[in-house]
Amino acid sequence: MRSNKSFLITTTLALSLFIALGITQHHLQESVTAANNGRMVPHFEVDPFWPQPLPNKWILGSTIGVAVDARDHVYIVHRNDDGNFATQEIGIDNGIADCCTAAPPILEFDANGALVNAWGGPGQGYTWPASNHGIEIAPDGNIWIGGNGGGDSHVLVFTRDGQFVREIGLPGEPIDSNSTAHFSRVAEIAIDPDANEAYFADGYGNKRVAVVDVATGAFKRYWGAYGNRPSDDRVTYTPGEPLPQQFVGPVHCAEPSRDGLLYVCDRGADRIQVFRPDGTFVKEAQVAPMTVGAGATWDIAFSHDDDQEFIYVADGSNMKVHVVHRDTLEVMYVIGEGGRQPGLFYGTHSIVSDSQGNFYTTETYEGKRVQKFVYQGLRPIDQMQSGPAWPNGALLD
């Protein structure tokens, strides 16, 4: 009898605890929902007519980098070698049809999407990358590009019109994440104009952030994940297990914010790590942490408000752009999904924002394009739905 009574008391207490926990969780969820419902987030619509058609029957290969200059001119770099096209795509080059031919690797568009200039490729005095990857515009208008192919252990600098300026690092060198003489398959480049420093996401071979002087190209410093000394040993990421103390890689972006922080994409671990400019680790967060293989954090761009309140994260594996709150690193909502139509993505690779708050994406693999997303102001988050940013005034399910 006593045993039955004890069982009844225990069961009643357990049931009360579960109910209390359920009520608490319900109230917590209500609190989170209420807090989010009062928040404002940026809203975008895709411009399906940007850019304007290319001349000369040109087409793009895997479009691997994008940058914006002070005039809001948009620069892209794509891979125009034969291996990036099907036989019929470049029918002119193959002598089988009257369309098409590969455009030069670097193209410049004005704010309206009209082509302004096109150039690039092998030349005198420098080694063109085996596989173009990443582009940045310096305050003086010079164009910086990297490469992630075999032997791409250097960065090139050109004038806006394609005149060779400088080669930084030695081409043809092996992986060495602690070298101060060369790099290894640099993914992205970003420039801090106040410090006159360039940050290299270094990259596909090396597993680090490297910093050089913009004026001279002189090597200044480097670091790995959490500010550790980087290692070339291969590490892996498994969802649910502790995050590796080294970058999984590729180290795919390293973007400085206006308030003196650096945001680094460790693509293989689905994470963004935040540092001070000297390599001191600040914080980290993951985006789509169940993503394996090619990873989720491919590139980032900041919103153009004074505080850069939001980060736009290009996610080529899941074919979308995550809108992330920069302070909390919380995903607010998602733009896009997989597909070929405007506002959809295939291999969302690189992203950049302009002075009007618009952002631009490039797509690698068979995506082979650049898209513009026009800033439509702020909206309450409870009015937003994740999906394609069609130009009809609202996101769609």
Residue at token pair 């404002």: 40
- Predicted confidence at residue 57, as pLDDT, reads 97
Query: What is the rounded distance in angstroms from the CA atom of residue 273 to the CA atom of residue 267?
Result: 11
Structure confidence by residue, pLDDT tens digits, 154-204: 999 999 999 999 999 999 999 999 999 999 999 999 999 999 999 999 989
Q: Are 370 and 380 in contact (CB under 8 A)?
A: no
Residue 334 has pLDDT above 60, yes or no: yes
At residue 6, φ and ψ (nearest 5 deg) are -65, -40
Query: What is the rounded distance in angstroms from the CA atom of residue 315 to the CA atom of residue 350?
Result: 9
Residue 392 has pLDDT above 60, yes or no: yes
268: left (phi over 0), alpha (psi -120 to 50) or beta: alpha
Query: What is the rounded distance in angstroms from the CA atom of residue 209 to the CA atom of residue 221?
Result: 8
Q: Are 77 and 338 in contact (CB under 8 A)?
A: no
Calculate what percentage of the chain has a pLDDT beyond 70.
89
pTM of the model: 0.90
- Predicted confidence at residue 37, as pLDDT, reads 56
Return the minimum-mean-pLDDT range out of 81-95, 106-120, 161-175, 354-368: 81-95
Residue 315 has pLDDT above 80, yes or no: yes
- Angle, CA 139 vertex, CA 161 and CA 307 arms, to 5°: 135
Calculate what percentage of the chain has a pLDDT beyond 90.
86
CATH of domain 44-383: 2.120.10.30
